[in-house]
């Protein structure tokens, strides 16, 4: 297949029926997969990654061959990376290191900004991202080795900032629990972000760490509408389960934060106050929000999903998104990518601040300590007698 034909397949000359007013017409970038094959998934399609020279599209050749294609099933492969701590120098986030026990995420959140990372593996950011997963079974051992390295200086490690460490396959693989066991043993601080109630499984470890001011947990609650939640993030815990997890964590003395993320204009932005109120009553003491981000392939996957599920809101949603992104679908500038700009973004921010003030949220921020850190022994290192 030539590059020209590949481009034609990826970008068929079909314009979306309701592009935002005043915008340049844009093509539908992928062919939707038949509904029964993607049941329980978030993405509508499985277009090739941006680094691939060729694109393959399933089409009916007249012999009903598509009827024989199996549904997308979750498969798990081994990630052979030899390091687990990823570093970043982004000035607009509060951590410089993170761990992702898994690559890809079965939760299937259609808006997930981590989807484009699957393109680096030669896989699709669409359905592949939520069905072809990679696990790092050696993560706890590798982590301990990295913490023991000469010159390592402890600072909070963030987990769950890319893919969810408590996605369904964690029930079987327990990699996140192994990582927590290492961090507890060496007294290293950790901040966890998840949208899974599975986090309460590890309350025993988290409670002990919390007593030494070594952990805080943020639960992402996108909506309280069960239908919207099921459609937008099909395999994540339901909103009531996430609120229940906040309650259990706070009852155990573990600092719990609610993240209203992402805020999507004309879809869930009307729920900001309700989500904060529900989380505050569940015991959350801190809150944050992030505006919808649409980098790279996420834009087209979200566009397809919106057209398939909320076609009446399509034009309005993208008009508001562009109003908050300087006329574009996404603006990746530091300091702006999380909150946006313009009147609509300003209003969302003020509504959030007023609601937090009324509910007593963010009165104090939990600051974790590195005072308990004890560097683990390196393999073969002689123990001290004193």
Beta strands in 202-275 (DSSP E): 215-220, 256-263
pLDDT at residue 66 in the model: 61
pLDDT at residue 35 in the model: 81
Q: Are 145 and 379 in contact (CB under 8 A)?
A: yes
| DSSP codes, 67-92 | GGPPPP--EEEE---S--EEE---TT
pLDDT at residue 62 in the model: 67
Q: What share of the chain is helix, strand, coil (3-state, %, to 5)?
A: 40, 10, 50
DSSP for residue 361: T
DSSP for residue 16: -
Q: Are 362 and 286 in contact (CB under 8 A)?
A: yes
Q: Are 113 and 54 in contact (CB under 8 A)?
A: no
Q: Name residues whose C-beta falls within 8 Å of residue 65's C-beta, 6 or more positions apart in sequence.
A: none
Of the listed ranges 14-23, 28-37, 81-90, the one predicted with least confidence: 14-23
Would you say the pTM of this structure is higher than 0.85?
Answer: yes
As beta bridge partners, residue 27 has 15
Question: Average pLDDT of 21-31?
Answer: 42
pLDDT at residue 52 in the model: 86
Q: Name residues whose C-beta falls within 8 Å of residue 368's C-beta, 6 or more positions apart in sequence.
A: 156, 189, 190, 191, 213, 214, 215, 216
Burial (CB count within 10 angstroms: exposed 0-12, middle 13-18, buried 19+), residue 61: exposed
Q: Name residues whose C-beta falls within 8 Å of residue 220's C-beta, 6 or more positions apart in sequence.
A: 193, 194, 195, 242, 259, 261
Give the span between the Cα atoms of 75 and 132, in whole angstroms: 5
Percent of the chain predicted with pLDDT > 90: 78
Q: Are 301 and 43 in contact (CB under 8 A)?
A: yes
Question: Average pLDDT of 16-42?
Answer: 60
Q: Are 127 and 38 in contact (CB under 8 A)?
A: yes
pLDDT at residue 174 in the model: 98
pLDDT at residue 18 in the model: 43
Mean pLDDT of the chain: 89
Convert the pLDDT of each residue in 111-153 to its tens digit. 999 999 999 999 999 999 999 999 999 999 999 999 999 999 9
Q: How confident is the model at residue 377 (pLDDT cuts 50, 70, 90)?
A: confident
Tokens of 172: 């079987």
Question: Average pLDDT of 274-298?
Answer: 97
Convert the pLDDT of each residue in 334-358 to its tens digit. 889 999 999 999 999 999 999 999 9
Dmax (CA) of the chain: 79
Burial (CB count within 10 angstroms: exposed 0-12, middle 13-18, buried 19+), residue 153: exposed
Tokens of 55: 């694109």
Convert the pLDDT of each residue in 191-212 to its tens digit. 999 999 999 999 999 999 999 9
Question: Average pLDDT of 2-10?
Answer: 42
pLDDT at residue 48 in the model: 87
Query: Has residue 67 got a pLDDT over 80?
Result: no
Query: Has residue 9 got a pLDDT over 70?
Result: no
């Amino acid at each position: 297949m030539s590059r020209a034909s590949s481009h034609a397949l990826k970008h068929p000359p079909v314009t979306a029926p309701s592009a935002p007013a005043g915008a340049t017409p844009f093509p539908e970038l992928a062919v939707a997969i038949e509904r029964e094959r993607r049941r329980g998934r978030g993405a509508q399609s499985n277009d090739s990654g941006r680094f691939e020279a060729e694109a393959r599209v399933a089409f009916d050749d007249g012999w009903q061959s598509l009827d024989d294609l199996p549904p997308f099933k979750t498969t798990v492969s081994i990630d052979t990376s030899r390091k687990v701590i990823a570093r970043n120098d982004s000035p607009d986030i509060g951590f410089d290191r993170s761990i992702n026990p898994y690559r890809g995420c079965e939760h299937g959140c259609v808006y997930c900004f981590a989807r484009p990372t699957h393109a680096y593996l030669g896989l699709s950011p669409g359905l592949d991202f939520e069905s072809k997963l990679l696990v790092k079974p050696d993560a706890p051992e590798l982590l301990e080795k990295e913490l023991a390295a000469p010159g390592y200086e402890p600072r909070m490690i963030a987990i769950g900032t890319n893919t969810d460490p408590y996605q369904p396959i964690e029930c079987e693989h327990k990699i996140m629990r192994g990582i927590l066991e290492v961090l507890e043993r060496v007294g290293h601080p950790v901040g966890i972000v998840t949208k899974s109630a599975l986090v309460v499984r590890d309350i025993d470890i988290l409670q002990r760490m919390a007593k030494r001011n070594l952990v805080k947990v943020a639960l992402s609650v996108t909506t309280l509408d069960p239908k919207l939640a099921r459609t937008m993030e099909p395999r994540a815990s339901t909103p009531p389960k996430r609120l229940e997890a906040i309650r259990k964590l706070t009852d155990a003395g573990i600092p719990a934060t609610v993240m209203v993320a992402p805020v999507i204009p004309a879809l869930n932005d009307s729920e900001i106050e309700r989500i904060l109120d529900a989380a505050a009553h569940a015991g959350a003491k801190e809150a944050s929000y992030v505006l919808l981000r649409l980098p790279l392939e996420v834009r087209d996957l979200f566009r397809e999903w919106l057209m398939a599920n909320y076609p009446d809101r399509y034009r309005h949603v993208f008009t508001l998104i562009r109003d908050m992104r300087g006329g574009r679908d996404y603006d990746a500038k530091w300091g702006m990518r999380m909150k946006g700009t313009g009147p609509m973004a300003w209003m969302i921010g003020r509504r959030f601040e007023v609601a937090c003030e009324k509910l007593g949220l963010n009165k104090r921020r939990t600051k974790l300590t590195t005072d308990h850190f004890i560097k683990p022994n390196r393999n073969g290192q002689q123990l001290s007698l004193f």
